[in-house]
Chains A and B, each alone.
Chain A
């Protein structure tokens, strides 16, 4: 393993020396996954919260389904999005296949159930806590959704981070709908897959280390922000 260690060091040095191509790949990874998470939040949070406060037949089934979708295999999502966006598919005229937009779409499909399911859980607990207050104020269930989401915002950050983690680490879907095209749709995970297939294991591992570093940095940044927000909130209270 001696050779491997020195190879790994060389790879890390290569990366730290700021290879512009590599940083373009890192940037694209972040861009795609951040957008996917933002869009998932816009869809998943209201849906999750509405599901938490409303009561209707079939609600339990919907919740089970949503929770199950958190484990949707990325390759299957990739395949479904590919079939939609292919020139012979229903959305082929949009010419979105093999673009970053296609990758964002695939990640939104993967991340939205996570955001929705976790939001549902958080908001349901909060709604129980607030139920008497809300009732005495005469607020209808659905009308209470914005308030509940706002009050649960710190817990919801964790839901978004969980979604981001899934998005940035995922390879099966983006390699199908993005095509791993150099300078266009090549992201961290597909680069790692490519280097592994070339047998450049040390380089692949070094890229993996960077990916982990990014995940840690994003999580640290968000948790610092939410901690600060929490303190601010306490001061205003």
Chain B
């Protein structure tokens, strides 16, 4: 009886696995939470899938983790936003070639009461300096993500080492953008966020955009095929097809057409 039971269990297990991996071709895209949480992928992927029959499976994590997962070969395409790291990824041989896809910008959000008095400014470095001088709560990703790297760059330009104040006014959440905004909303803290996540975020509480428009807040997304010479399992043909679509006219038009609350969140800029 037990043997039959084991057999039945194994057969059904095979069915579950089979239904997930066989049949239609698919690729795994390692990407960031901002592209997923904003709904961009839900909007543009059906077009690609209808055209090619290739199912795109998106794993949304921070840029740092996405790059590490891609180095391990656990993805066919990498779509993230930390240009320097992406170039290093290709240089080290993990990726084939990097292409610009789209951009948007980062914004500094904070409580309406604005204790650091930065509202209306467009100089992110001056704003962060003011936050550090006022020693008011600032919620940081603290997770080696693209947004975290950008934030650290601006602190560096401001000549401030916020990690020295970690645990006092500088709070490192070690989590994704949404989770960090939840924390900021809960403690009326300042935070640096990409605009897409902010526009689609539903728990703003007292937070609002305080600083925007600094050219240094530019946020570029790039796409890279994971090098099949490093990992034989990489679905290179399907992955390349996705990249070609994304940086081609159809993909770029789809990105441009995606709007949330009437606002365009990503601006295509493939060359």
The residue from B9, B17, B74 contacting A39, defined by CB atoms under 8 A apart: B9
The residue from B5, B12, B182, B233 contacting A197, defined by CB atoms under 8 A apart: B182
Considering only CB atoms, which chain B residue lies closest to A87 in the complex?
Answer: B73
Q: Are A197 and B33 within 8 A (Cβ)?
A: yes
Chain B residues, Cβ within 8 Å of A92? 73, 233
Q: Are B203 and A199 within 8 A (Cβ)?
A: yes
Query: Is B176 part of the binding interface, using a Cβ–Cβ cutoff of 8 Å?
Result: yes
Q: Are A95 and B179 within 8 A (Cβ)?
A: no
Chain A residues, Cβ within 8 Å of B204? 199
Query: Is B200 part of the binding interface, using a Cβ–Cβ cutoff of 8 Å?
Result: yes
Chain B residues, Cβ within 8 Å of A198? 37, 178, 200-202
Distance of A104 Cα from B12 Cα, bound (Å): 12
Chain A residues, Cβ within 8 Å of B231? 87-88
Give chain A nearest CB distance to B62 CB in angstroms: 12
Chain A residues, Cβ within 8 Å of B182? 196-197, 199
Distance of A93 Cα from B71 Cα, bound (Å): 16
The residue from B6, B16, B59, B202 contacting A201, defined by CB atoms under 8 A apart: B202
Query: Is A184 part of the binding interface, using a Cβ–Cβ cutoff of 8 Å?
Result: yes
Query: Is B265 part of the binding interface, using a Cβ–Cβ cutoff of 8 Å?
Result: no
Query: Is A179 part of the binding interface, using a Cβ–Cβ cutoff of 8 Å?
Result: yes
Q: Are A35 and B201 within 8 A (Cβ)?
A: no
Distance of A179 Cα from B231 Cα, bound (Å): 19
The residue from A42, A87, A104, A179 contacting B233, defined by CB atoms under 8 A apart: A87
Query: Is A136 part of the binding interface, using a Cβ–Cβ cutoff of 8 Å?
Result: no
What DSSP secondary structure best describes chain B's contact surface?
A: helix
Q: Are A98 and B59 within 8 A (Cβ)?
A: yes
Q: Name the interface residues of A24-67: CB closer than 8 Å to any CB of B.
A: 31-32, 35, 38-39, 42
Query: Is A17 part of the binding interface, using a Cβ–Cβ cutoff of 8 Å?
Result: no
Considering only CB atoms, which chain A residue lies closest to B6 in the complex?
Answer: A42
Chain A residues, Cβ within 8 Å of B71? 88
Q: Are A104 and B16 within 8 A (Cβ)?
A: yes
Distance of A179 Cα from B66 Cα, bound (Å): 11
Known contacts A87-B72, A99-B21, A199-B181; is-contact A179 B9 (Cβ 8 Å):
no
Q: Name the interface residues of B1-52: CB closer than 8 Å to any CB of A.
A: 2, 5-6, 9, 12-13, 16-17, 20-21, 28, 33, 37, 42
Chain B residues, Cβ within 8 Å of A100? 16-17, 20
Query: Is A6 part of the binding interface, using a Cβ–Cβ cutoff of 8 Å?
Result: no
The residue from A97, A98, A181, A199 contacting B178, defined by CB atoms under 8 A apart: A199
Query: Is B60 part of the binding interface, using a Cβ–Cβ cutoff of 8 Å?
Result: yes
The residue from A39, A93, A101, A180 contacting B59, defined by CB atoms under 8 A apart: A180
Query: Is B77 part of the binding interface, using a Cβ–Cβ cutoff of 8 Å?
Result: no
Chain B residues, Cβ within 8 Å of A181? 28, 57-59
Known contacts A31-B16, A93-B233, A98-B74; is-contact A196 B59 (Cβ 8 Å):
no
B171-205 toward A: CB 8 Å interface, digit per residue (1/0)? 00001111101100100000000000000111110
Number of interchain pairs (Cβ within 8 Å): 95
Q: Are B73 and A104 within 8 A (Cβ)?
A: no
A97-126 toward B: CB 8 Å interface, digit per residue (1/0)? 111110010000000000000000000000
Chain B residues, Cβ within 8 Å of A88? 71-74, 231
Distance of A205 Cα from B47 Cα, bound (Å): 32
Distance of A35 Cα from B42 Cα, bound (Å): 30
By CB atoms of chain B within 10 A, which of A31, A98, A100 has the most?
A98
Known contacts A86-B74, A87-B231, A101-B16; is-contact A182 B59 (Cβ 8 Å):
no
Q: Are A182 and B13 within 8 A (Cβ)?
A: no
Considering only CB atoms, which chain B residue lies closest to A203 in the complex?
Answer: B202
Considering only CB atoms, which chain A residue lies closest to B36 in the complex?
Answer: A194
Query: Is A207 part of the binding interface, using a Cβ–Cβ cutoff of 8 Å?
Result: no
Chain B residues, Cβ within 8 Å of A95? 21, 233
Query: Is A96 part of the binding interface, using a Cβ–Cβ cutoff of 8 Å?
Result: yes
Chain A residues, Cβ within 8 Å of B203? 199-201
Chain B residues, Cβ within 8 Å of A97? 74
Distance of A99 Cα from B28 Cα, bound (Å): 11
Distance of A98 Cα from B5 Cα, bound (Å): 27
Q: Are B17 and A101 within 8 A (Cβ)?
A: yes
A-B contact pairs, 24 of them (CB 8 A): A31-B16, A42-B2, A42-B6, A42-B9, A86-B72, A87-B72, A87-B233, A88-B71, A88-B73, A88-B231, A95-B233, A96-B17, A101-B16, A101-B20, A179-B28, A181-B28, A184-B57, A185-B20, A196-B182, A197-B33, A197-B178, A197-B182, A198-B178, A198-B201
Q: Beyond A87-B74, A179-B59, A198-B37: 19 further Cβ-contacts under 8 Å?
A: A32-B16, A38-B9, A39-B9, A86-B74, A88-B73, A88-B74, A88-B231, A98-B57, A98-B74, A179-B28, A180-B59, A182-B42, A182-B58, A196-B179, A197-B175, A197-B182, A198-B178, A198-B201, A198-B202
